[in-house]
């Protein structure tokens, strides 16, 4: 079976990027700075193609990304290199002082009326304890013979199961069909695979 990293749609970059942002915030207790953010982008397969005046552009497979850092907010626009702008996604990370939490969201860049979040729920991290307050389902994508799979660890799977939403696709919100350690979504065509840590 051939395995490889899948980076041909914005979601293939957005979900691993959100997971890495979550890990960075929980480890450091703050949003990553520009240098740390560029390192994180590299860890999810992004190659920097342009940088200037605080804005950086990168390419990860068939996805082009633009990093728009702010003092209290990070926005990463992810656009398919080929295809419609309607498929673009935003990964947004910020500190919500009213909630006392850091938030990482994945949302469609062009759909103002979209009220969901890719990844089942946004990442919500308590600003004091740095513990998760939500149940995000994030991981990386791998291409296998059966198609592209979102690969998640057992800890993520356990939290997801406890949430009672194990039958909801974290990518599109469709219905999942589980077969052992793998699930398949008939709506978006992606699979989910649980791996040992």
Helix (H) or strand (E) holding 37: helix 34-43
The Cα–Cα gap between 21 and 57 comes to: 17
Record the pTM: 0.91
Give the residues across from 83 on adjacent strands. Answer: none
Higher pLDDT, 70 or 145: 145
Instruction: Using alpha carbons only, give the angle 165, 90, 137 rounded to the nearest 5 degrees.
Output: 20
* pLDDT value of residue 113: 52
Burial of 47 (0-12, 13-18, 19+ CB in 10 A): exposed
* pLDDT value of residue 112: 55
The 10s digit of each residue's pLDDT in 81-105 is 887 777 899 999 999 999 999 999 9
């Amino acid at each position: 079976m051939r395995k490889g990293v899948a980076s041909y749609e914005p979601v293939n970059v957005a979900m691993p990027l959100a997971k890495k942002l979550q890990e960075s915030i929980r480890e450091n207790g703050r949003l990553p700075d520009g240098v740390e953010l560029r390192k994180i982008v590299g860890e999810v397969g992004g190659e920097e193609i342009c940088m200037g005046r605080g804005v950086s552009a990168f390419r990860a497979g068939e996805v082009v990304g633009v990093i728009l850092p702010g003092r209290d907010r990070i926005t990463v626009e992810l656009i398919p290199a080929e295809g419609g702008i309607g498929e673009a996604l935003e990964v947004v990370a910020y500190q919500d002082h009213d909630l006392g939490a850091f938030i990482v969201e994945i949302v469609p860049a062009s759909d103002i009326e979209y009220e969901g979040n890719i990844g089942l729920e946004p990442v919500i991290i308590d600003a004091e304890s740095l513990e998760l307050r939500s149940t995000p389902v994030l991981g990386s994508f791998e291409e296998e013979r059966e198609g592209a799979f979102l690969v998640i660890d057992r800890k993520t799977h356990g939290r997801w199961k406890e949430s009672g939403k194990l039958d909801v696709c974290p990518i599109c919100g469709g219905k999942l069909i589980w077969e052992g350690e793998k699930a398949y979504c008939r709506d978006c065509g992606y699979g989910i695979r649980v791996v040992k840590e």
